[in-house]
A and B are shown apart, each in its own frame.
Chain A
Amino acid sequence: MTTTERAARQHQERARSGWRVVLRKETADLWLSAKGLSVLLAFSIALSVLAYLASGDAAINLLDARESVGVVVKTAIGLGTLTAVVVSADAISGERERGTLEALLVTPVARRDIVTGKLLAASTMWLAALVVALPFVVVMADGPRVGLDAVLVLVISGGLVAAALTALGLAISSFVMSNRASLAASISILLMLAAPSQLPAITKSATLGPVLIKANPVSAGLTLADNVLVKQQEWTEQWIYLLSPILATIALTAAAILLARRLQLGDAR
């Protein structure tokens, strides 16, 4: 093997493992700093208040027990996704604003590896939110005996919604120069996508309403939670509601990684 070939192989090996180094560092930064735990604490407090109120309502029959589980699962999906989006929307634009991006870009690590590492690190936020949400869901689902369904909805539907929106936040963070704009855009999109599932009367009365609900990954994921946990529909009938979250996860992850090639410092000229 010639020196040039050896150097080329070294470069390839570095390119392959670069995302792991970025992932390790970003995950450590997230969880060894106060950031990750603070966001998670806020998430757990919000979920605690909601779960307590929903349980109280269910205890006096103001809310059906299944419905109370549905409310908590949907909130865990929505807020858990929000925590991951807050991290991913800051991932690139935050580095850009703090002046740390240039030093990262001049290393041999490929930009897609930087983005991949950051995407996976931001996803740990969702995983942590999932772990925090599980005890709430398990305790609440014990009454109506929907524990397994609730956990499956949280893991599958929530996981897909969170993955799609985390990738979206990172993609926005890659090309939006201001960190504030990146966070505002990502959170606004999440809220807009979640809104239709909270307005059933409007969306169901329109002819295209049900189609739009299914096409929108967030509302599809939340509707699936309702269907399985509240309306007691079979899982086999729900595949249509998983379609758009799966497609959105694939498309947005690909977009985030492809956009990495065009990653700009932002202050050139």
Chain B
Amino acid sequence: MTDEPTPALALECVDLHVRYGTFMAVDGVSLVARPGEILGLLGPNGAGKTSVVRAITTIVPVTSGTILVNGHDLTDPVAIRTSIGVLPESNGYPGIQTAKAHLTFYAELFGLDPREARRQAEHRLRQLGLDDKSQPIGTFSRGMRQRLGLARALINRPAVLLLDEPTLGLDPAGREDLLRQLASSAVEEGTCVILCSHQLDEVERVCDRVAVMDHGRIVADGTVDHVVAGSGVTQRARIRVALGDVLAADEVLRALPAVSAVEYDNARPGDIDVELAPVDGARSQLLKVLLDARIEPRAFDFQRAALSDAFLALTSRGRETE
């Protein structure tokens, strides 16, 4: 919406604290996100994700710390709110309004004149595939409402888009549709997207980076691989080599620092099970040492640690189940 030069960071939170009475909901969170980046904000229920989002959107007071949204700090909440688009988790809609009237109203709240607001509303409805829906919102399906919510969040061409559980309750096709829209918005409009979700598979798929929260703190932050690697969960590989190469393979594999265990399946001679620490590039390291030792794998099945494994390991829920 604004024609100011785009800052290098779309969002920067430093040592953010949010306290509700005696409860510290956000306890020293620091986050950065760049334009065009999709950042997944993960954490179990009560971890503080929604509080972080609401602090960024200026609707809950920050106890301490700084927030910069598109270059604006908390001393100018109106400028922050002008720069953001939000799809809240508890998102209601006026049942009697049409989608177009609803979006036009929000566009006007962002300062657009009525004609421009209508144009922008039509554009977003077309973009989200809702332009042929003239019935009241009360008759919309859950998927249509979520798409409308995304259209509303995009109505001001925000620098930072904050989405709290946007795919909650959607069927697989609806989820795919919404995630596609999200990714295209980030790429085409350079929008920084903060995605709070419990759907770890979709986060893993669309997010450039993830930040995992637990008890109001960031416990891991980085690319999905980096977070998985840092979580300490193991990865597994099953390699099949010729029977004559088993001993040589055993030797080179055990020499790798990332390998924590090498086991054999007696029922299938030549199959080697390898357990690895979650380091970046483990798969290629395995292949490299085998090929360097002139051992040609006949089969290679690598099971990378999933984000869900890392999430469970990093958060309290994981610790409780251990």
Contacts and interface: CB of A to CB of B under 8 A. Distances in A.
Interface in A193-247: none
A99 B90 contact: yes
A110 interface: yes
B291 interface: no
B290 interface: no
Contacts of A268: 20, 25, 51, 54, 60
A84 B86 CA distance: 32
B86 A29 contact: no
Q: Which of A4, A7, A95, A110 has the most CB of B within 10 A?
A: A7
Nearest to A10: B111
Contacts of B86: 102-103, 106
B2 A7 contact: yes
A13 B54 CA distance: 25
A105 to B, nearest CB: 5
B91 to A, nearest CB: 6
Contacts of A3: 2-5
B243 to A, nearest CB: 62
A14 B92 contact: no
A7 B79 contact: yes
A267 B91 CA distance: 13
A11 B109 contact: no
A100 B105 CA distance: 13
Contacts, number: 92
A18 B109 contact: yes
A29 B97 contact: yes
Contacts of A17: 111
Given A4-B4, A21-B105, A11 B84 contact: no
A33 interface: yes
Interface string B53-96: 01001111000000000000000101101101010101111101
A25 B105 contact: yes
Contacts of B111: 10, 13-14, 17, 108
A33 B90 CA distance: 24
Interface string A89-119: 0000001001110111111111000000000
Given A29-B96, A269-B25, A107 B90 contact: no
A103 B109 CA distance: 11
B94 A108 contact: no
A13 B110 CA distance: 11
Contacts of A134: none
B154 to A, nearest CB: 13
Given A14-B111, A106-B59, A32 B54 contact: no
Given A7-B2, A7-B79, A99-B91, A106 B51 contact: no
B81 A106 contact: yes
A16 to B, nearest CB: 10
A167 to B, nearest CB: 23
A109 B111 CA distance: 9
Given A21-B108, A103-B152, A11 B79 contact: yes
A111 to B, nearest CB: 10
B110 A108 contact: yes
A100 B79 contact: no
A66 B322 CA distance: 83
B59 A107 contact: no
B26 to A, nearest CB: 11
Given A3-B3, A13-B111, A103-B152, 20 more contacts: A3-B5, A8-B79, A10-B2, A14-B111, A21-B105, A21-B108, A29-B96, A98-B94, A99-B88, A100-B93, A103-B88, A105-B57, A106-B57, A106-B58, A107-B109, A108-B79, A108-B82, A108-B109, A269-B25, A269-B51
Interface of A: 3-4, 7-8, 10-11, 13-15, 17-18, 21-22, 25, 29, 32-33, 95, 98-100, 102-110, 265, 267-269
Question: What 5 A-B pairs have minimum CB-CB distances, sorted nearest first?
Answer: A99-B92, A14-B111, A107-B109, A98-B92, A269-B20
